[in-house]
Chain A
Amino acid sequence: MPRTPSSRRTTHRLAADAGLLVVAAAFSLPLLWVILSALDTNANLQVKLPDGLTLDNFDAVLTPDVTFTPLLNSLLLCGGGTLLTVACAALAAYPLSRFRSRLNRPFLLTVLFATSLPITAIMVPVYALFVQVNLIDTMQGTIFFFAASQLPFAIWLMKNFMDGVPKELEEAAWTDGASSLQSLVRIVLPLMGPGVAVVTVFSFVMMWGNFFVPFMLLLTPDQMPAAVSINEFFGNRGTVVYGQLAAFSIIYSTPVILLYVLVARRLGGGFALGGAVKG
């Protein structure tokens, strides 16, 4: 017996909903663990209802030693790196987007090529280099490397966003006697605000989560960002207090999740980034 199209569509939708919910359940189990454990007085490694709700775990980790110093370090590293990346990317993207030159295409191809190289692979040589030029174990050295590693992708994104800004406005500014740097700062960048926001947030999130780079380039525990200090937390203290570990994970992850939500809201759904990445 033939079903009507609308009822078939509903069945389809229900099936799709059910399938998605199953996947979502599987994906959310580890997330549930971290939230429940952070609130549990007696956390272990399983997802279970807390024995008693408590904020003690947060209390225990919110000390200068455990949380504030690493987070501050993270902020310094990622903030510095992001500023540098965005500034350089804007300066690099501007001529690429505005002036026709024979070097544009090779340059862009190189940038794209560099974007997709695995950063992990160049860490050993970079380590050796940093030892030689005395940048090892310094914050500024790590910031430089962060910025450099994020730069190709930032230039690529920035150039694509910049192409969307109409040229006429700038020509008007030039007629009024603005230099190209002035027109970049006063006209182009404000007009591509959302684009700059995406590049900034994306760079920041990438650096915030990066474990390998500070793990290799920084040696003194006082300078370690949260990404590395969480590891110490876990490995070198004998018995692991899972509740505290979970609490720390949550504190550490919150900024990037908030940033992501902020950008997703502003740009009408997180799917904008997917579109930009596609090239």
Chain B
Amino acid sequence: MWLTLVFTVVSALLGQNTLGLALAALMQRASKTVRTLVGGIVITAWVLPEVVAGFLLYAFFRREGTLNAILDWLHLPSQNWLFTLPILAVSFANVWRGTAFSMLVYWAALNEIPKEITEAAEVDGAGGWRRMWHITLPMIRRSIGTNLMLITLQTLSVFGLIWVMTRGGPGGKSQTLPLFMYEEAFQKSMIGYGTAVALLLLVVGSLFSVVYLRLLRTEV
């Protein structure tokens, strides 16, 4: 239960959302070649089927995997990520896979901000960070709300990615609600208990959904 919360907050709110916004903001300034390249790579990670993404990141985080090889090369201590910090590993995996969506949403939102406004602020002597904080963020707040809601819901129901990477283990240390539900209902054959967990998941999902509807209300 708490793991679900950690997973959602770390991977959706902090990871995908912030990284997506940062990427979109940087892309506005970057040159066209770099933009196409980066966009292509990030979106590829998004379009890949869930299971394939799971395998790629499984390979990345394994003891013999790429991450430890890089850490070795930098003379930093390496460890078995999937064993010591599985929840962090799967959160990063979800960030890797999901950032593209936030990036696309924010890219569209940032492009809708009229140039005159940012230029006016620039003339008034506002620096990059202040422009971001006082002008850009308030202007795209609707998109931020929508995006947060959608990625939260998306993240709540992630199953395949975690299943492939850790099966919820070791010892339930990366077991989020969907995996817990699966284990109770099918491996322990307690359909009723599993359904109860499902209901809990559904309730959390609908709460988010309702907030999301409120945000969109005027647009329907």
Contacts and interface: CB of A to CB of B under 8 A. Distances in A.
A244 B219 CA distance: 49
A253 B49 contact: yes
A29 B50 CA distance: 17
A245 interface: yes
Interface in B140-196: 143, 146, 149-150, 153, 156-160, 163-164, 178, 181, 185-186, 191, 194-195
A45 B62 contact: yes
Interface residues of A, number: 68
B198 A211 contact: no
Contact of B30 (A13, A31, A228, A256): A13
How many residues of B sit at the interface, in one of the four size bands?
Answer: 35 or more
A230 B198 contact: no
Contact of B198 (A30, A123, A205): A123
Contacts of B202: 117-118, 121-122
B209 A113 contact: yes
Contacts of A209: 48-51
Contacts of A13: 29-31
A128 B195 contact: yes
B23 A23 contact: yes
Given A117-B206, A230-B55, A278-B143, A29 B60 contact: yes
Contacts of B198: 121-125
A27 B96 contact: yes
Contacts of A277: 101, 104-105, 150
A118 B45 contact: no
Interface of B: 19, 23, 26-31, 34-35, 37-39, 41-45, 47-52, 55-57, 59-60, 62, 64-66, 69, 96, 99, 101, 104-105, 107-109, 143, 146, 149-150, 153, 156-160, 163-164, 178, 181, 185-186, 191, 194-195, 197-199, 201-202, 205-206, 208-210, 212-213, 216, 219-220
